[in-house]
Amino acid sequence: MNRRRFAARVKLPTFSARTIAVGYGVVSLLVLAMFAGPLWYAWHTNIEQVRTELLRSDTQRLENLFTRSGEAALANAIDSQVVGTNDGVRKIMLLTSPDGKRIAGNLPAWPQGLPDRDGLCSSTIHVDGSARRIEAMRVTLPGGYRLLVASNLNRFDELERLFVYGLLACALTVLVGAVLGGVLIRRALLERVQGISQTTAAIIEGKLSRRLAEPHDGDELRLLTHTVNRMLDQIEQLVTGVQDVSNAIAHDLRTPLSELRARLEEVAITRPDLDETYAEIDAAIGDIDRVMSIFQALLRLAEIDSGSRRTGFVEVDLARLGDDVAEFYLPVAELKEIALTFEAGAGLNVVGDPVLIAQALSNLVENALKYAPEGGAITVTARREGERLALSVADNGPGIAEDERPKVVERFYRVDGSRGTPGVGLGLSVVSAVARLHGGTLTLAENAPGLRATLVLPVHAMAAHGTVEMDGRPPAV
Amino acid sequence: MKLLLVEDNERVARFVCKGLSEAGHTVDHADNGRDGMFHAVSEPYDAIVMDRMLPGGIDGLAIIEALRQQGNRVPILVLSALDGVDDRILGLKRGGDDYLVKPFAFGELLARLDALLRRSHSHTLETTLALGDLSVDLLAHKVTRAGTSIALQPREFKLLEYLLRHANQIVTRTMLLENVWDYHFDPQTNVIDVHISKLRQKIDAPFTTQLLRTVRNAGYMLTDRQ
């Protein structure tokens, strides 16, 4: 494997964390704008309405006064209201005579720039050389008097300024909060991602046994890390499996192949008589068949492990399947004077691959037949335990030592002393792979004396696959 | 019988052609998909041995599918290096009659081919099968030999029925495993041999002539010929 290339420092995905921080700020500002916008609008229109109304009512009042009591009373009223107040800062009033002369009010003369008609208008006038924006109401009174009532808009500027400053201060606070929050979120995320990334980088460099730290509190990342860890378990097991297989192939395939080579070479060199040559050829074919059967078992294992068989799952009656397998091997057992019995409980339907389950059970029975002593007993049982079905094969042979049990399910592993017996050492690996395919397990236990091998399958293999219960590790023993 | 072999590997083809000719068949050989297709549609064959992966732009399964679409019912034995159970199922679903994985023993090929040829010639639904003085009533599940009734277990009965349907023909252990037990794996023990010897105990042992014979390096044959 090109380790150097993978060893290059893995670049952390800072982009998405930064995006989160920026997005957090933008969203905060948007929320603020959504609040302030309508507030600003309501405030503004409301003030305008109140102002206009005041203008109208003031004008109306003065007009009435003029109609009731005449010019002098109006002039008095005006002067009492505006003369002495700060020169047109808030309210502006002016009454002129029919010839245009000022009678009362706080303007020296009729201002320039006002339209020459009665009614409401907005304009800018100049008083004492300074510009004032006003909203004015002009009324022509009977006899040619003209009345101007106006409010100074400039005095609202201060309020508006305050409002805007307030908003800006708010926005700034929110922005600072958002940036801070974003930075914190980003740092928290980066910390978690960095941990995952560093562990992953170590795994890429070949430290396959490393695992992600799983947080104890049940947050979202826990689910992810748990799933990733399970995936890593599976990968590690597969990689180890491949290494084991390479070693095993080196040994178990090399042996028949070197025998074959020696056999053929010997025939080629010594040129024996025809009968012997034919015998050697037959033996060579036997060698090839041995190699082929190892290949076939390996390919079958690979096929099972790939999970592609899951598409062909159907309802399988384990009582029937177990009975068939037991019946299939019964004559062999009888020949060895072994009592082979099958016991089935009720409710033994499972969703799975009948061909593979039959093969797995056959492998277990063949194993038991291989090791059970003459006159011994093998018991095959199928029973339901809640949502799981257990197919077990118990013999009273020598059993397997506890520390050897995890190893026997490994590919090509053979218990010492069994090298002489037929078989390629893949039987239990196949059973274990079948169990995994169905989301179940293979357990090997003491039968005192002998071995009890149990294939546990969930009733609904498809549903069970992928839950936390399913364990990708070698079967627990 | 007139057979067609479609196989691109020259050595395998030569070996199979020679073997089939020695077994008394006439064999045409095509070494690519195009020629194979041409032969298969233009001449009547009793059976076709078809490699799955072929050069010539058209593979074995495609040829089989095309033949079946034309209503051609010729028995076809598919040869393949693909050993997955799904590969086997696909091969049969596309119209193959049997599936043999490479590398194969020639005896296995010949036995399976004979079984296919026999199947295509006996379409009648028999209720009794007989060979020599052995007769089996398929409806009543009764076995008699020379007037003596023989009690068989259900699976033994099925085994005998299969052997009788392929009487005078070699049947291999794999054929028995697949057809009598419907198992598609190789038992590591000689379990088939034990079943056969048990059956032999019942149908042959008490009698003078042996019907169920072992054919060395191949399998078994139920025959009354000498």
Q: Which amino acid type is present at position A459?
A: V
> Which residues lie below 8 Å from residue B22, measured CB to CB, with a gap of 6+?
none
| Every domain range in chain B assigned CATH 3.40.50.2300 | 2-121
Lowest mean pLDDT among A216-230, A282-296, B185-199: A216-230
Q: Are A446 and A402 in contact (CB under 8 A)?
A: yes
* Nearest beta carbon to residue A293 from set B84, B186, B189: B186
The pLDDT profile of chain B, 226 residues, written as one tens digit per residue, is 899 999 998 899 999 999 999 999 999 999 999 999 999 999 999 999 999 888 888 889 999 999 999 999 899 999 988 777 778 888 888 899 999 988 888 888 999 998 888 876 665 677 888 898 899 998 888 999 988 999 999 899 999 999 998 888 889 999 999 889 988 888 878 899 999 999 999 998 888 888 999 988 789 999 988 7
**Hey, what are A34's tokens?**
């959504």
Residue of higher predicted confidence among B34 and A221: B34
User: How far apart (Å, rounded) are the C-alpha atoms in residues A212 and A218?
Assistant: 15
A257 φ, ψ (degrees, to nearest 5)? -70, -40
Residue among B60, B44, B50 at smallest CA distance from B29:
B50
In chain B, residues with a C-beta closer than 8 Å to the C-beta of A370 are 189
User: How far apart (Å, rounded) are the C-alpha atoms in residues A314 and A262?
Assistant: 48
* Nearest beta carbon to residue A355 from set B85, B187, B195: B85
Asked whether residue A7 carries a pLDDT value surpassing 60, the answer given is no
Q: How many residues does chain B have?
A: 226
| Every domain range in chain B assigned CATH 1.10.10.10 | 128-222
Angle, vertex CA B196, rays to CA B101 and CA A361, nearest 5: 60
In chain B, residues with a C-beta closer than 8 Å to the C-beta of A359 are 183-185
DSSP symbol at A311: G
**A and B: number of Cβ contacts within 8 A:** 60
Residue among A477, A371, A357, A379 at smallest CA distance from A423:
A371
User: How far apart (Å, rounded) are the C-alpha atoms in residues A235 and A140?
Assistant: 96
In chain B, residues with a C-beta closer than 8 Å to the C-beta of A335 are 194
Interchain CB distance below 8 Å, B181 and A309 = no
- Per CATH, which fold does B2-121 belong to? Rossmann fold (3.40.50)
Q: Are A115 and A106 in contact (CB under 8 A)?
A: no
Find where tokens 């999970």 sit: A307
Interchain CB distance below 8 Å, B185 and A312 = no
**Mean pLDDT, rounded, of chain A:** 79
User: How far apart (Å, rounded) are the C-alpha atoms in residues A194 and A188?
Assistant: 10
CATH of B128-222, one of 1.10.620.20, 3.20.20.140, 2.60.40.1930, 1.10.10.10: 1.10.10.10
Residues A163-189 have pLDDT tens digits of: 888 888 888 888 888 778 878 877 887
Residues of chain A numbered 262-321 and touching chain B (CB < 8 Å): 282, 285, 288, 292-293, 296, 299-300, 303, 308-309, 312
Asked whether residue A463 carries a pLDDT value surpassing 80, the answer given is no
Q: CA of B62 to nearest chain A CA: how many angstroms apart?
A: 23
Domain A308-464 = CATH 3.30.565.10: yes
Neighbouring-strand partners of residue A140? A146
Interchain CB distance below 8 Å, A358 and B183 = yes
Which CA distances in Å does A71 have to A58, A85, A356, B65, B131? Answer: 16, 21, 116, 115, 146
Q: For A292, how many CA atoms within 13 A lie in the half-sphere containing its CB?
A: 14
What ranges make up the beta strands (E) of chain B? 2-6, 26-30, 47-51, 76-80, 98-101, 128-131, 134-137, 142-145, 148-150, 170-172, 212-215, 219-222
Interchain CB distance below 8 Å, B188 and A427 = yes
Mutation test of the interface with chain B: which of A321, A330, A428, choosing the one with the most B Cβ atoms within 10 A?
A: A330
Residue of higher predicted confidence among A56 and A417: A56
Could you give the residue ranges of the DSSP H alpha helices within A344-426? 354-371, 405-408
Residues of chain B numbered 174-203 and touching chain A (CB < 8 Å): 181, 183-191, 194-195, 197-198
Q: What is the gyration radius of the CA atoms in chain B, in angstroms?
A: 19
Residues A369-403 have pLDDT tens digits of: 988 888 899 999 999 988 889 999 998 888 777 77
Residues A122-173 have pLDDT tens digits of: 888 777 677 778 888 888 888 888 888 888 877 777 777 888 888 888 888 8
Q: CA of B188 to nearest chain A CA: how many angstroms apart?
A: 6
User: How far apart (Å, rounded) are the C-alpha atoms in residues A376 and A243?
Assistant: 38
ipTM of the complex, rounded to two decimals = 0.80
Interchain CB distance below 8 Å, B188 and A303 = no
Interchain CB distance below 8 Å, A296 and B186 = yes
Find where tokens 């679903």 sit: B93
Asked whether residue A43 carries a pLDDT value surpassing 60, the answer given is yes
**Residue B103: cis peptide before it, omega within 30 degrees of 0:** yes
Measured between CB atoms, does B207 come within 8 Å of chain A? no
Asked whether residue A6 carries a pLDDT value surpassing 60, the answer given is no
| Every domain range in chain A assigned CATH 3.30.565.10 | 308-464
Task: Provide the total of helices (H) and of strands (E) in chain A, helices listed first.
Answer: 12, 12
User: How far apart (Å, rounded) are the C-alpha atoms in residues A120 and A114?
Assistant: 10
